[in-house]
Structure 1
Amino acid sequence: MKFNYLIVGAGLAGLTFANLLAQNENNTILIIEKRQHIGGNAYDSYNANHILIHNYGPHIFHTNNQQVWKYLSQFTEWQDYQHRVLSFVDGQFIPMPITLETINQLYNTNLSQFEMADFIESQKEKVELIKSSEDVALSNAGRDIYEKFFMNYTTKQWGVSPSELDPSVISRIPFRFNRDTRYFTDRYQGIPKAGYTKMCEQMIDRPNIKVMLNTDYKEVTDAIDYDKMIYTGPVDYFYDNQFGKLKYRSVRFEMEDHDCESFQDAAVVNYPNDYDFTRITEYKKITGQQHLKTTVMKEFPCDGEEPFYPFPTKEWQECYLKYKAKADVEENVVFAGRLAEYRYYNMDVVVARAMEMVESISSLSI
């Protein structure tokens, strides 16, 4: 069969391309995915206790982009959800990000928002030249806040000290000089009521979209006739690691079932200074599911084979630019998404970029 578009990867980028291109009924589309499921890292499923979990870590949808929100709302109803995170610091569970509540609880004070601003200013260290993420943190927050909340967490996350990481990793440390302890303040926030996987299935529920799972595209492309490829996989893999294999940080997940209705006081609890894991997620507190048992997931950052986060150093960005130079001149291949562009994107940005790129390769008006 002849396809107008071959899409490599069934994450949100690939699925958005597929859905929008398929709105022209004359387009035929084939999606090839190496995993056994669609949805990429947003994939969710029910475990043995019938508790809905996010298999690749918590995914909270939040955006200020009304167009993206309206677009995805075609495929799901939303459950209202305001994400809150606690951080275990100095034996206390303290709200994150850093707000007036955080500072007052941490230091056992009763500062006003104006006094908090003066306090933060007094903590800052003067750094002549910002060369690393450590420099950013010290100049924005001072040493005590940096060491309590960021230094060890970042080291666990990336496997190297913040002093070795590009300033962009901690581009700034945001402070809220109020009592708003929500993790995100975006206008639109929520969780798909039936789950991300169901939303993704709705996106490609069209007769002119075909899906091939458990397949490495390189093993079958010679036998497929297509006009244009949308590639959302690792850009270095596309070019057979010609300039070397790009470095990614991966994550190992450990699930635990507990015979109790509630395990912790927030959906996510960070552990910046204790244990080898970075955080624990309790999924019922995200999905709103009612169940006598609960499931939690611990995250252990590692150097595994599964690529999650592009490595944020100048060395690896320069390596990526060699691949980008080749990708930019490809005539029949569009590179899209976090792996193809070697950049971490939130879900809403992935969808927004795909929407923009579709307009540039087709006559479809979104």
Structure 2
Amino acid sequence: MKTVDILIVGAGITGITAASILAREKNKTVLIVEKRHHIGGNCYDCFNEDGILIHLYGPHIFHTQHKDVWDYLSQFTDWLDYVHHVKAFVDGKYISFPININTFEQLFEKSFTKDDVLAYLEREKIDLPEIKNAEDMVISRMGNTIYNKFFKNYTRKQWGVDAKDLAPEITERIPIRFDRDDRFFTDPYQGMPEKGYTELFKAMLDHEKIQVITGKDYRDIKDQVNFDKIIYTGPVDAFFDYKYGYLPYRGINFSFKTYDQENRLPMAVVNCPNDHSYTRITEFKHMTFQKHPKTTLCYEYPSDVQAGRNNPVPSYPILNNSSIKKYKKYLNLSHKKKDTIFIGRLGKFQYLNMDICVKHVMDRLIFD
């Protein structure tokens, strides 16, 4: 019988950060159990058969406004000075995205100033008495033309439903910039781990008080382990055996293709809102700075996650009135589990950026 202080379920960025902090800051013994055959969760990266570093679950760019998060991770990695830029392929052109002055000039093929953009939005935005859904959130700020060209079809592909059937929070954080700043993220700290995410995570787990088991469901081994507390980063509905039914997620099917050329796209990520069945394309070499005569592109095809089967891997919680109501029932159950901490994207049924996953763990464990 194995004895540890803490059993952690899931070796994604949340579980790995928890293990690192508990071992190094709290002097706790930790066992991490991961169902997949690798660490890193959806942040996992690896070299493909051509020797090109890819993100197996789509692009992950680290960015944060939290200096304490950046400083903590910087103990385990140096950073590539990568600043993320995205284009949307609209009307046969690569258009600057998120929406900024350049977007308007490229889309309408004429000069715009800040005042011109403000005037356009004032003319085009739709006055609504109440913001009821994700479509309302966009058209009330940008009008129908921008919504139709950049968001309507992308949202339908990404979520499998119309924006009218999604909570307004889905599109609430879409920015409009009244300058020419076309960085996708404006956080003061951003970059890519110098040797990749998997190497970063290996360094975080390299501690005598941390043990890792991959390729196992924690339910299959928890009776063989003595522990004081569980930190659970898996799906909260699965923990409670789907008592109130499945929480809905959207997942992504990834298709990779290697080309016999050094580069193929103008930047790392291109969104495809209206053309093709995939939502976006990623060329990893733009963000890893790898030198290689070939390049690999990743094409993303969103689809519903098959309930309870992790196929494809759940990535985005589908937030609507029904799912939020169901999650609150699970939340009430979780409050009664005094020996278990539910945390992370799946544990909290929230879409969380990587830095926020780390921040939540730091705030919960370091100051607990």
Q: Give the match's secondary structure for 2:282.
A: strand
Aligned to 2:338: 331
Count of residue pairs brought into register by the alignment: 361
Conserved 8 A contact 2:53-2:284: yes
- Quick one: which amino acid aligns to residue 339 of structure 1? L
- What is the match of residue 364 of structure 1? none
Q: Is the contact made by 1:25 and 1:208 (CA closer than 8 Å) also made in structure 2?
A: no
Report the CA distance between 1:360 and its aligned residue. 5.0
When residues 201 and 173 of structure 1 are mapped into structure 2, their CA distance, relative to the original with a 3 A threshold, is closer
Unaligned runs of 5+ in 1: 362-366
User: For residue 249 of structure 1, what is the aligned residue in structure 2?
Assistant: 250
Q: Which amino acid aligns with 1:11?
A: G
2-structure distance, mates of 1:293, 1:231:
40
Let me know the Cα RMSD of the aligned residues: 1.0
Deviations 1:280-324 (A, max 9, x none): 000001101011000000000001322111111110011011111
Q: Give the TM-score normalised by structure 2.
A: 0.96
Structure 1 partner of 2:127: 126
Runs of 4+ with >4 A deviation: none
Q: 1 CA distance for matches of 2:25 and 2:98?
A: 44
- Tell me the equivalent position of 1:78: 79
> What's 1:303 paired with?
304
1:148 has 2:155 as partner: no
Q: Percent identity?
A: 46
Equivalent residue, structure 1, for 2:196: 195
**Offset of residue 255 of structure 1:** 0.1
Partner residue, 1:206: 207
CA contact (8 A) 2:21 2:366 kept: no
Measured after TM superposition, the shift of residue 26 of structure 1 is 4.5
- Classify 1:172/1:51 alpha carbon distance in 2 versus 1 (closer, same or farther; 3 Å): closer
Asked whether the equivalents of residues 76 and 192 of structure 1 are also in contact (C-alpha less than 8 Å), the reply is yes
1:284 paired residue number: 285
Paired residue for 1:162?
163
2:3 paired residue number: 2
Question: Per-residue deviation at 1:359?
Answer: 3.0
* Aligned-partner SS, 2:49: coil
Q: Is the 8 A contact 1:135 1:167 kept in 2?
A: yes
Q: Against the structure 1 CA distance between its residues 126 and 59, is the aligned structure 2 distance closer, same or farther, given a 3 Å change threshold?
A: same
Measured in 2, the distance between the counterparts of 1:314 and 1:5 equals 35
Residue by residue over 1:13-46, the C-alpha shift from the partner in whole angstroms, topping out at 9 and shown as x without a partner, is 1111100110157521100000011111110000
- 1:1-366 mapped onto 2 (5 Å cutoff): 1-23=2-24, 26-171=27-172, 173-304=174-305, 305=311, 306-361=313-368
Q: What residue identity is the alignment partner of 1:316?
A: S
TM-superposed CA distance for 1:52, in Å, is: 0.4
Task: Check 1:229–1:182 CA distance in 2 against 1; reply closer, same or farther (3 A cut).
Answer: same
Measured after TM superposition, the shift of residue 131 of structure 1 is 0.7
Q: Tell me how far 1:173 sits from its aligned partner.
A: 3.8
Say whether the 8 Å CA contact 1:140–1:172 is kept in structure 2: no
Partner deviation per Cα, 1:209-234 (whole Å, 9 max, x = no partner) = 00010000011111111111100000
TM-score normalised by structure 1 residue count? 0.97
